[in-house]
Structure 1
Amino acid sequence: MPTHAQYLPSSLILVGAGKMGGSMLEGWLKVGMKPSGVTVIDPRPSEEMTRFCSEKGIALNPANPSPADVLVLAIKPQMLEDAAPALNGYLGPRTLIISILAGKTTGNLKARLPTASAIVRAMPNLPASIGRGATGAAINAEVSEEQRLMADALLSSNGIVEWLSSEDLIDAVTAVSGSGPAYVFHLVECLAEAGAAAGLPPDLAQRLARATVTGAGELLFQSDLPPATLRQNVTSPGGTTAAALEVLMRDPGGLKALMREAVAAAKRRAEELAG
């Protein structure tokens, strides 16, 4: 059977080697991307990235890099305008652009990169930094199946990839998985505060809340059961968990309604940024 390594590009330019860009780079090398085929462009690379590139034999900020099979845009979205003139020089007639720039549509990219053709918009999330990311991705009409497989090989090196039927779904993906880790971190904060309010020492409540959420997440990761079934499996009728869930699941005003409101707010903001 074909493996992801078979679809990795022979040449790639990564523009922006911050937290996410650096994590993606590490993932590509782990699945077989040759360091000699990678060029990193970053005007202010960290000492860690500079050392990493030196150790791996990756070109860092060469004067005139040749166009590559893939150009990955991992800069801050607000930097696109100033970076565009240089980016145009990195594009060849068959270069695939993979953009993780939040709020920057395919139309935005083509307006600033006139020679751009095949574009993948992707929205990874923070757990990609530990290989457990969730990425939503969409292609434009110019992306060939070979290029989509190439993008899949690169993006899946940091976790799962869900291919979207339309770029219009990117804002919803941003609101669910892109911003979602922050929701989980806040859940830990709230659970720890509630534990302290119930009488636990704050440091103990913090440790218990953190271990509970990370453990439940790992159980969910390893299980094929739906989340609802896992919830039911730990809920005894008339027990303590059931008493708490009556509060969280009450209608109206329970967690479901609050989460819908939160995701809708994030989606609206993503749409505003895209505009």
Structure 2
Amino acid sequence: MAEAIINGVLTANLHLPQDLIVSDINQERLKFINNKFAIATTCDNILVFQQAEVIILAVKPQHLKEALGGFPRDICNKTIISIAAGISTNFIEELVGKVPVIRVMPNNPSLVGAGMAALCKGKYADDQDLQLAKEIFASIGETVILAEYLMDAVTGLSGSGPAFVYQFIEALADGGVQVGLPRNIAYKLAAQTVVGAGLMVLKTGLHPGQLKDMVTSPGGTTIRGINVLEKAGFRGTVMDAVESAYLMSKKLGSE
């Protein structure tokens, strides 16, 4: 995700390469980032804390506390943006002191500039901090601003949702192969069908049920397929998947 953010920020001309610095324990990863973006790299997080005005924590939840080790608690002129799933702004504030913290839940399609990110602010952050973070994540997709209590729900839906959709695309393609389509054609048909359906929801403003009704002719092929999905509990299963991911996000935040 860090690579996607860097690419978005540079492509949108929000910052120049010389404005950025990346820290990682993986030397090979740092070499790759330096070669691709021509930005400074280091293994020293404290150096980043000293030099950067805005610090983006693009780490797994279990590594966040370690990543913030050595953060100077006697300063407040930094802004921290965290994309660690399930980790509250309050948890980070307890580690770093009275520093503006913005919590963000982006998702995997950010890698191709088609992400969906939800943002919220901690108690020491203001609207200016929130706007700064919004501009960064708008460079790799769409953004929404929500109350923090909804962030675990976001994780369950748009955070984990791409994996559910990828599995659906794979299943659609498998169905196509089952009835005779070549594998490469089946994947293209399935993926573009999902992209197009998503755009129909976003661009027409119609309820998904209305759009479904537009495709399902009486006694036709599509309603037969819908019938099979309904009998298999398709909608309930998807809802349960979102809820399960949501509960896991809450668990991560409580550990």
1:46 Cα deviation after fit? 4.3
- Matched residues in 2 for 1:131 and 1:201: separation? 29
Q: Which residue among 234, 245, 254 is the counterpart of 1:266?
A: 245
Across the two proteins, how many residue pairs are aligned to each other? Answer: 248
State TM-score, norm by structure 1: 0.80
1:204 Cα deviation after fit? 4.8
1:196 Cα deviation after fit? 3.5
1:59/1:199 CA distance change after superposition, 3 Å: closer
1:246/1:175 CA distance change after superposition, 3 Å: same
The correspondence of residues 4-43 of structure 1 with structure 2, limited to 5 A, is 20-35=1-16, 36-43=18-25
State TM-score, norm by structure 2: 0.86
Contact 1:67–1:92, Cα closer than 8 Å, also in 2 = no
- In terms of fraction of residues, the more helix-rich structure is 2
Give 3-state SS (helix, strand or coil) of 2:144's partner: strand
1:206/1:132 CA distance change after superposition, 3 Å: closer
- Matched residues in 2 for 1:43 and 1:91: separation? 26
- Matched residues in 2 for 1:128 and 1:202: separation? 26
Give 3-state SS (helix, strand or coil) of 1:85's partner: coil
Matched residue type, 1:112: L
1:206/1:38 CA distance change after superposition, 3 Å: closer
Residues 84-123 of structure 1: CA deviation (Å, up to 9, x unaligned): 223x14984121111001122223212332x342111110
- Matched residues in 2 for 1:196 and 1:103: separation? 38
Counterpart of 2:160 in structure 1 is 179
1:210 Cα deviation after fit? 3.3
Matched residue type, 2:34: T
Q: How high is the sequence identity, in percent, across the aligned residues? A: 32
1:126 pairs with 2:108: yes
Counterpart of 2:63 in structure 1 is 79
Matched residue type, 1:85: G
Q: Which runs of 5+ in 2 are unaligned?
A: none
1:230 Cα deviation after fit? 2.3
1:170 Cα deviation after fit? 0.9
1:137 pairs with 2:119: yes
1:163 pairs with 2:145: yes
1:48 Cα deviation after fit? 2.5
Q: Which runs of 5+ in 1 are unaligned?
A: 1-19
Give 3-state SS (helix, strand or coil) of 2:84's partner: coil
Residues 155-199 of structure 1: CA deviation (Å, up to 9, x unaligned): 21111111002x111111000000000111110122222333445
- Matched residues in 2 for 1:225 and 1:21: separation? 35
Counterpart of 1:228 in structure 2 is 209
1:215/1:46 CA distance change after superposition, 3 Å: farther
1:201 Cα deviation after fit? 5.2
- Matched residues in 1 for 2:89 and 2:12: separation? 28
